[in-house]
Amino acid sequence: MKARLVAVGEKAPVWVAEGFAEYQKRLSHWLPLELVEVAPGLRGKGRDAARAMADEGGRVQAALPRGGWVVALDGRGKAHSSEQLAARLEHWRQQGRDLAFLIGGPEGHAPEVLAAADETWSLGPLTLPHMLVRLVLAEQLYRACSLLANHPYHRA
Ligand SMILES: C[S@@+](CC[C@H](N)C(=O)[O-])C[C@H]1O[C@@H](n2cnc3c(N)ncnc32)[C@H](O)[C@@H]1O
């Protein structure tokens, strides 16, 4: 099983890119994680945010892996402890499908994207900046893989 992170937003700051690359490297033998960045829709004076969200939503859907199990990151979604996430990861492994994790834009996910997702995942009720969400997601996937492998990274 491998995973693809489809994230609205480009040009991550260096501290995010380096942190993400570190967890990507650590995950490489447990859950290869590919990052696909999607250009945000155009916003600003005279531009409709709903149109921008729909545009980026279309690009997100075009970037989904064929037949993948789609998990949309959303603050209003389903929360998991790290142990519950590890159990979820084991469940996903047994399904035998690749995974796609989605991070939305400034107003969140387009309704069509949420409707197409198989499940949602909340990192908690706080609204996090989308670049930080990449990093937390990669770290928590690494933690979940460590738990499943009885690796000492996660000490309960
Ligand atoms: C700046 S947030 C969007 C906030 C938007 N107002 C909303 O209500 O969804 C950008 C993206 O980061 C992700 N995100 C932010 N906070 C999150 C959280 N607590 N849990 C899961 N995902 C989160 C979601 O994918 C969201 O679409």
Q: Is the CB of 75 under 6 A from ligand 1?
A: yes
- d(C-alpha 130, C-alpha 34), whole Å: 17
Q: Is the CB of 122 under 6 A from ligand 1?
A: yes
Instruction: Tell me the CATH number at 10.
Output: 3.40.1280.10
Q: Is the CB of 103 under 6 A from ligand 1?
A: yes
Q: Is the CB of 133 under 6 A from ligand 1?
A: yes
- What's the token pair of residue 89? 């990861």
Average pLDDT value over all residues in the chain: 95
pTM to 2 decimals?
0.96
Q: Residue 117's CB: how many other CB atoms inside 10 A?
A: 21
Q: Is there a binding annotation on residue 120? A: no
**Domain range spanning residue 35?**
3-119+130-148
Phi-psi region of 144 (alpha: psi -120 to 50; beta: other; left: phi over 0): alpha
Residue 152 is predicted with a pLDDT of 87
Q: Is the CB of 123 under 6 A from ligand 1?
A: yes
- d(C-alpha 3, C-alpha 23), whole Å: 13
Tens digit of each residue's pLDDT (9 = 90 or more) over 77-135: 999 999 999 999 999 999 999 999 999 999 999 999 999 999 999 999 999 999 999 99
Q: Would 124 be classed as within a structural domain?
A: no
The residue with greater pLDDT, 48 or 110, is 110
Tens digit of each residue's pLDDT (9 = 90 or more) over 132-150: 999 999 999 999 999 999 9
Residue 156 is predicted with a pLDDT of 64
State the distance from the centre of ligand 1 to the C-alpha of 152, rounded, in angstroms: 30
| Mean pLDDT for the stretch of residues 13-37 | 97
Residue 119 is predicted with a pLDDT of 98
| Cα dist from 23 to 6, 16, 99, 140, whole Å | 16, 11, 17, 9
The rounded percent of the chain whose pLDDT value lies above 70 is 99
- Which residue, judged by its Cα, is nearest atom 8 of ligand 1? 108
Domain count, the chain: 1
Q: Would 156 be classed as within a structural domain?
A: no
